[in-house]
């Protein structure tokens, strides 16, 4: 989907996603001390807003202006920097303590570019957290994209970071209960060295 398709999708309903943070974002990051955070492909901003309310200085980036405008309205007086830009071309090196990418489901080359942009945005010691629909979700899980070309594994994400210096905290498939059954997601958490 391009930005105009996402604009149309976001414009068609009150909220496409929940106003609550992603469960894995919340559980993985609840204990981190606040600093500067980057939410790449932020959509309607639910994770950015949650981080900002926990004391983080947050930049939310998405290429859908409609999604960002909905996030700004949802945030109310919670301070978030909203930036309309393509996550695959983000370039703000060594500026953040945390980068979050949740459910950016794009072809492999675009995913790799976004993962590298998110990682490159980290200061040494910064955390990269990526959550997405795992490749196995197509055959063993429920929901999510049905195009195998936009699904990935933890190993794919590690390969995206080949040549970079980091410590792996978590790189695995995780289960996410839904009303329709169990979805299979990928979770990667690394710390830049």
pLDDT in tens, 100-113: 999 999 999 999 99
What is the mean pLDDT of the segment spanning 140-153? 97
Least Cα distance to 167 among 188, 151, 152 occurs for 188
Residue 136 contacts residue 124 (beta carbons within 8 Å): no
- The per-residue pLDDT for 163 is 98
Q: Residue 3 — very low, low, confident or very high, per pLDDT cuts 50/70/90?
A: low
- The per-residue pLDDT for 6 is 55
- The pair of three-digit structure tokens given for residue 138, joined into one six-digit string: 């197509």
Q: Inform me whether the pLDDT recorded for 8 exceeds 60.
A: no
Alpha carbons 177 and 133: distance in angstroms, whole number:
13
Q: Inform me whether the pLDDT recorded for 4 exceeds 80.
A: no
- The per-residue pLDDT for 108 is 98
Residue 188 contacts residue 129 (beta carbons within 8 Å): yes
Q: Residue 20 — very low, low, confident or very high, per pLDDT cuts 50/70/90?
A: confident
What is the mean pLDDT of the segment spanning 117-134? 98
Alpha carbons 54 and 20: distance in angstroms, whole number:
13
Which distant-in-sequence residues (6+ apart) come within 8 Å of 188 by Cβ?
128, 129, 130, 131, 154, 157, 158, 168, 170, 171
Which domains, ranges and CATH numbers included, belong to the chain?
3-192 (3.40.50.150)
Q: Inform me whether the pLDDT recorded for 137 exceeds 70.
A: yes
Q: Inform me whether the pLDDT recorded for 9 exceeds 70.
A: no
- The per-residue pLDDT for 16 is 53
Residue 175 contacts residue 184 (beta carbons within 8 Å): yes
N-terminal to C-terminal alpha carbon distance within the chain: 34
- The pair of three-digit structure tokens given for residue 100, joined into one six-digit string: 């979050």
């Amino acid at each position: 989907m391009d930005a105009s398709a996402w604009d149309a999708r976001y414009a068609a309903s009150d909220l496409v996603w929940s106003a609550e943070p992603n469960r894995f974002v919340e559980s993985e990051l609840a204990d981190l001390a606040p600093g500067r955070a980057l939410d790449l492909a932020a959509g309607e901003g639910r994770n950015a807003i949650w981080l900002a309310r926990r004391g983080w200085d947050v930049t939310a980036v998405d290429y859908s202006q409609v999604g960002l405008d909905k996030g700004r309205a949802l945030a109310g007086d919670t301070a978030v920097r909203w930036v309309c830009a393509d996550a695959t071309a983000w370039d703000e090196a060594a500026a953040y303590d945390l980068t979050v990418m949740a459910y950016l489901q794009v072809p492999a080359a675009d995913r790799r570019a976004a993962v590298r942009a998110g990682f490159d945005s980290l200061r040494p010691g910064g955390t990269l957290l990526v959550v997405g629909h795992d490749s196995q979700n197509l055959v063993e899980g429920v929901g999510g994209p049905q195009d195998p070309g936009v699904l990935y594994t933890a190993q794919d994400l590690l390969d995206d970071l080949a040549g970079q210096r980091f410590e792996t905290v978590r790189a695995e498939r995780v289960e996410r209960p839904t009303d329709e059954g169990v979805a299979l997601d990928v979770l990667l958490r690394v710390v830049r060295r």
